[in-house]
Structure 1
Amino acid sequence: MKKYTYILLVSLIVFNCKDEKKNNNKLNIVTTTSMITDLVKNIAGDHVNLEGLMGSGVDPHLYKASEGDVTKLANADIIFYNGLHLEGKLVEVFEKMRNIKTVALSDALDKKTLIGSEYFASNYDPHIWFNTDYWIQITQYVANTLSDALPEKKEIFQANSTAYITQLKALKANIKSTIATLPEDKRILVTAHDAFNYFGKAYGFKVLGLQGISTATEAGVQDVQKLSAFIIENKIKAIFVESSVPKRTIEALQAAVNSKGNNVAIGGSLYSDALGNAGTIEGTYIGMFQYNVNTIVNALK
């Protein structure tokens, strides 16, 4: 009953808000995750009205739109979202946005290159931002979308995207340089959930997540015991919590390892499904990625 009441509420808000556009001659852009908000900000600057739904520490797997969020979405000219069912609980809302352009960033990518996942309706791992080459492709895709929607600002959007892509290429080089200082046999990343498979594939890490790809799945006792045995066998020095996932599961894993006479440290908190606080280095995509890599490498050395 609650589900149908929620859908009705969404429909009413969309209907009532469809003509309440802002009058400053700027596109109203709404984004879902903080990574996407940061990307659009880098390309569009102050030439659009930009509102992000999810802030620091917010888990997009479990996120459900509030009445205020639905109002923002209903007043948007363009909605940028990740796709691949990352924002699974927003699908019903997007389906009601029939007169609003909704853009899935994953549509910029060749699906044949994605990592498969049986845990998502899309059948793909949605954590695509952890491949810098993907993010470069997505940057151009967003710039082209904005240019089509606002042709008079096309030169600005394209110039900003070119400058940002240059920064992303520099980030990729810095990441490779940092990882090169870590011996290959130490490149095993254990985290709360499998958000880092694209990172692992791109940069040569074996990645294991306690909860699997979606945080909607719970880790059981057998999962903890199995992973603790792997940690002991491979003499892994550190495991990692995530900023958008409760740390209790990783603490349980650490306790399981230590209870067997071994020792594993919690190497730090990584940013997985959300950026850091606004106004900090980690509150940007580039800063978040470099911070994660520095944290991983320093803890595993």
Structure 2
Amino acid sequence: MIVNKAAIKSLASLLFLSILLMYASCSRTAGEMANSDGRMNIVTTTGMIEDIVKNIVQDSADVISLMGPGVDPHLYKATQGDLKRLKDASLIFYNGLHLEGKLGDIFKNLGKIKLVMAVSDDIPRERLINNTTMGGQYDPHIWFDVSLWKEAATYVSQSLIKNDSINGPYYAQNTATYLLKLDSLHAYVKQKITEIPQDQRIMVTAHDAFEYFGQAYNIRVEALQGISTMSEFGSRDVVDLVNFITEKKIKAVFVESSVPEKYIRSVVEGCRKKGHEVIIGGTLYSDAMGNKGTPAGSYIGMVRTNVNTIVNALK
């Protein structure tokens, strides 16, 4: 008899979640789920969302992110520790738009007993990029258009104020300060990209995470993989991208912190064989931020780091 270990592990996780849900429904409501000192316990999926929440609540609540630096949310699977954190949370914020594809069922089940919110829910659908290559699925990488991420931050703030009205004025004040910082960041990115000559404004990356960035800041984006790192690519994709880079005489391409370098390095080698030297222009933070305490360890720092890397390599 053949034992499918992956299936057993998945079944065990689902069983563990079911037990947690049953326990939670019999013990505490979502509004009662707080630490012993009365502070809210907020869980987010990505570091970018954690950064929004922390800027709003400051030190008035406990905030953690399930996914740290270098973690690919497209492929992320919840651990039993994650399930415990989610069960204990007062509020859960996730990106939505299928970014956390493998956590979808967990959020659906948890939503029956507690507040589980996608930060993309309040963004008008007409402002989202509909990717026809992914069956009409919306591109989830909304944080790369700072004006869209400002919408997400506003939605998070409204949700926090609604569910913690005692701290509402404090959250509102912190939100106003943060939104002004995002306005400044949006202006900075627009200005910085203009330093790249118009005919050189082409950035090539490992996977298609930067379409919102390209659309918002007037730079063409090409990638080896689609909007999800779960999508496959073949030799034909490599050949097509090599031909494109060679034809356009692009001088730099970029690797990503959450995607293996080998994929884009195969493109660099292909260009070299065709007589065109293209360099790795640097590492971009795409689906995860940098380590805490580093310039890329905050959302604003991550965006500025990416933009400086792109401009320095292409101008």
- TM-score, normalised with respect to structure 2: 0.92
1:128 aligns with 2:135: no
Match of 1:90 among 103, 110, 135: 103
Which residue of structure 2 aligns with residue 247 of structure 1?
Answer: 261
Residue aligned with 2:62, SS: strand
Q: Which amino acid aligns with 1:8?
A: L
Q: C-alpha separation between the residues in 1 aligned to 2:212 and 2:313?
A: 20
1:23 aligns with 2:30: no
Which residue of structure 2 aligns with residue 57 of structure 1?
Answer: 70
Aligned-CA RMSD value: 1.4
Contact 1:84 1:120 in 2 (8 A): no
1:178 aligns with 2:185: no
Q: Which moved more, 1:8-17 or 1:50-59?
A: 8-17
Residue aligned with 2:250, SS: coil
Match of 2:130 among 105, 116, 119: 116
How far is 1:136 from its partner? 1.2
1:300 aligns with 2:311: no
- TM-score, normalised with respect to structure 1: 0.96
How far is 1:226 from its partner? 0.5
How far is 1:121 from its partner? 7.3
Q: C-alpha separation between the residues in 1 aligned to 2:135 and 2:18?
A: 24
Residue aligned with 1:152, SS: helix
Q: Which amino acid aligns with 2:73?
A: P
Match of 1:150 among 156, 164, 167: 164
Residue aligned with 2:138, SS: coil
Q: Structure 1 residues 89, 121: closer, same or farther in 2, change over 3 A?
A: farther
Q: Which amino acid aligns with 1:156?
A: Y
Q: Which amino acid aligns with 1:6?
A: S
Contact 1:244 1:274 in 2 (8 A): yes
How far is 1:6 from its partner? 2.9
1:14 aligns with 2:21: yes
Question: What is the aligned length?
Answer: 301
Q: C-alpha separation between the residues in 1 aligned to 2:135 and 2:39?
A: 35
Match of 2:91 among 78, 88, 103: 78
Unaligned runs of 5+ in 2: 1-6
Contact 2:13 2:80 in 1 (8 A): no
Q: Structure 1 residues 70, 42: closer, same or farther in 2, change over 3 A?
A: same
Q: C-alpha separation between the residues in 2 aligned to 1:205 and 1:102?
A: 35
Q: Which amino acid aligns with 1:221?
A: S
Q: After TM superposition, what 4+ stretches of structure 1 lie above 6 angstroms from structure 2?
A: none
Q: C-alpha separation between the residues in 1 aligned to 2:102 and 2:136?
A: 14
1:144-164 CA-partner distances (Å, limit 9, x unpaired): 110011111111101101000
How far is 1:5 from its partner? 3.5
1:238 aligns with 2:268: no
Q: C-alpha separation between the residues in 2 aligned to 1:121 and 1:150?
A: 39
Q: C-alpha separation between the residues in 1 aligned to 2:60 and 2:132?
A: 40
1:198 aligns with 2:212: yes
Q: C-alpha separation between the residues in 2 aligned to 1:108 and 1:186?
A: 35
1:33-68 CA-partner distances (Å, limit 9, x unpaired): 010001100011111121110110100000000000
Contact 2:251 2:278 in 1 (8 A): yes
